[in-house]
């Protein structure tokens, strides 16, 4: 089916559908990963977004049941230059197009993804629509402008679990993970380090979280604007100083808000598995996996209490913080590395060390 992408500024790209049909709305962003498309598709942080891959051929190693990072696909649409129909991998169970169809996700191929990426870099991430329906560009543009964006929008309530559940039943350290859109590999990394992991809804009050007697609390990644998730920020304020806290991605942003800081929207965000980040404490540079559209304004925090620990070397934005008095730290990138390099996994060991020092 002929398919088109209409951007909020009126730019139109035409291609073909390789998955489900219909019309989808969301903020269009680009991801620079060369592989790991299944992990990207199942990352809840992409809820409300349309993802375009910069690598030209996607789908060549297929899809399998073990690489999913959540229970389903949360993004609104998936754009590639070319979708591979031929699959070559001993672990593959189905093709990318079939997987998208099963999940009713619209896939667009055949457009110039280089031109789209350059346009987003120059103009910024913006609202868009993908459609296979017979709609005029003018009608679609009007619908795009009327659709909700990400600023001020709470998407955590759409991806969080509905009730507490156990990831595993044994472990030396009991860790409560506040599910703002958690990826399964975060839970796997904790389990590998002898943690008993309990996942709770983002709306769970701080008092009930403490009733679970955790030795550490992790606030996970997730979608949308951190300033809109006021209930999580309020809970964080009550938990600071009680137990060790580790924040990842959205969890990092909400921790910054709980410490009295502010956040702002990046022009086109950081999405990919090849972002260089410098650990300012050791001087080492790590290649990291990232997926976020908002950032903590470090200047809005009390510099006497909060230490900048990590810095993005592409645009010099803050990527990590640590409190000098309370047992808490957070990073903007994804140390669980799905997809992406494994270089930042040492941060989970730091979280364990923090729990050891009661």
Query: 279 and 335: one domain?
Result: yes
- Domain presence at residue 205: yes
Query: 180 and 122: one domain?
Result: no
Question: For residue 357, is pLDDT > 90?
Answer: no
CATH number of the domain within which 201 lies? 3.40.50.880
pLDDT in tens, 11-69: 999 999 999 999 999 999 999 999 999 999 999 999 999 999 999 999 999 999 999 99
To the query of whether residue 334 is one of the catalytic residues in this protein, the response is: yes
- Percent above pLDDT 90 for the chain: 96
- Domain presence at residue 151: no
Question: For residue 350, is pLDDT > 90?
Answer: yes
Q: How far is CA 275 from CA 4, 35, 39, in A?
A: 30, 14, 17
Query: 180 and 127: one domain?
Result: no
70 phi/psi in degrees, rounded to 5: -165, -175
- The range of the structural domain enclosing residue 291 comes to 156-356
Tell which of 117, 146, 175 closes a domain: 146
Query: 288 and 225: one domain?
Result: yes
Query: 219 and 135: one domain?
Result: no
pLDDT in tens, 200-255: 999 999 999 999 999 999 999 999 999 999 999 999 999 999 999 999 999 999 99
Determine contact, residues 231/258, Cβ cutoff 8 Å: no
Query: 269 and 195: one domain?
Result: yes
* Residues linked to residue 263 through DSSP beta bridges, in sequence order: 296
Reported in sequence order, the residue ranges of 18-70 that DSSP labels E, i.e. its strands, are 23-31, 49-53, 57-58
Tell which of 95, 128, 146 closes a domain: 146
Instruction: Enter the pTM of the model.
Output: 0.95
CATH number of the domain within which 101 lies? 3.50.30.20
What is residue 303's predicted lDDT score, i.e. its pLDDT?
Answer: 74
Nearest to 338 by CA among 187, 197, 217: 187
To the query of whether residue 292 is one of the catalytic residues in this protein, the response is: no
Residue 145 in tokens? 């402008």
- Domain presence at residue 330: yes
* Residues linked to residue 312 through DSSP beta bridges, in sequence order: 277
Q: How far apart are the first and last CA of the chain?
A: 60
- Pairwise CA distance, residues 109 & 73, whole Å: 18
Query: 130 and 236: one domain?
Result: no
pLDDT in tens, 262-304: 999 999 999 999 999 999 999 999 999 999 999 999 899 877 7
Query: 139 and 15: one domain?
Result: yes
Residue 198 in tokens? 């309990």
Domain count, the chain: 2
What is residue 86's predicted lDDT score, i.e. its pLDDT?
Answer: 94
pLDDT class for 150, splitting at 50, 70, 90? very high
What is residue 304's predicted lDDT score, i.e. its pLDDT?
Answer: 73
196 phi/psi in degrees, rounded to 5: -95, 120
Catalytic residue among 8, 76, 319, 336: 336
Catalytic residue among 189, 249, 310, 319: 249
Question: For residue 358, is pLDDT > 70?
Answer: no
Mean pLDDT, the chain, rounded, equals 96
Tell which of 146, 170, 200 closes a domain: 146
pLDDT class for 346, splitting at 50, 70, 90? very high
Query: 27 and 140: one domain?
Result: yes
Question: For residue 89, is pLDDT > 80?
Answer: yes
Query: 125 and 171: one domain?
Result: no
Question: For residue 177, is pLDDT > 70?
Answer: yes
What is residue 118's predicted lDDT score, i.e. its pLDDT?
Answer: 98
To the query of whether residue 307 is one of the catalytic residues in this protein, the response is: no
Query: 15 and 137: one domain?
Result: yes
């Amino acid at each position: 089916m002929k398919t088109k992408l209409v951007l909020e500024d009126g730019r139109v790209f035409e291609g073909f559908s390789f998955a489900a049909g219909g019309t989808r709305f969301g903020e269009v962003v680009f991801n620079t990963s060369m592989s790991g498309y299944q992990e990207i598709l199942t990352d809840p942080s992409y809820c409300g977004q349309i993802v375009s891959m910069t690598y030209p051929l996607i789908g060549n190693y297929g899809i399998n049941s073990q690489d999913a990072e959540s229970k389903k696909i949360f993004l609104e649409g998936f754009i590639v230059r070319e979708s591979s129909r031929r699959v070559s991998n001993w672990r593959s169970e189905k093709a990318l197009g079939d997987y998208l169809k099963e999940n009713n996700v619209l896939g667009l191929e055949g457009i110039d993804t280089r031109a789209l990426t350059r346009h987003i870099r120059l103009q910024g991430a913006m609202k868009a629509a993908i459609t296979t329906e017979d709609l005029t560009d003018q009608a679609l543009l009007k619908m795009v402008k009327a659709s909700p964006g990400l600023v001020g929008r709470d998407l955590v309530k759409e991806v969080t679990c509905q009730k507490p559940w156990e990831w595993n039943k044994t472990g030396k350290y009991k860790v409560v993970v506040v599910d703002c859109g958690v990826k399964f590999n975060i839970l796997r990394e904790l389990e590998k380090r002898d943690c008993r992991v309990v996942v709770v809804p983002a709306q769970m009050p701080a008092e009930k979280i403490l009733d679970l007697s955790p030795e550490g609390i992790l606030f996970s990644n997730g979608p949308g604007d951190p300033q809109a998730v006021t209930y999580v920020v309020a809970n964080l304020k009550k938990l600071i100083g009680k137990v060790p806290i580790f924040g990842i991605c959205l969890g990092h942003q909400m921790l910054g808000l709980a410490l009295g800081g502010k956040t702002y929207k990046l022009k086109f965000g950081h999405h990919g598995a090849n972002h260089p980040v410098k650990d300012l404490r050791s001087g080492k540079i790590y290649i990291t996996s990232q997926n976020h559209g908002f950032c903590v304004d470090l200047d809005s925090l009390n510099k006497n209490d909060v230490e900048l620990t990590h810095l993005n070397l592409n645009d010099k934005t803050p990527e990590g913080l640590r409190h000098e008095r309370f047992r808490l730290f957070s990073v903007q990138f994804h140390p669980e590395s799905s997809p992406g390099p494994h270089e930042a996994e040492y941060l989970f060991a730091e979280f364990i060390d923090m729990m050891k020092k009661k």
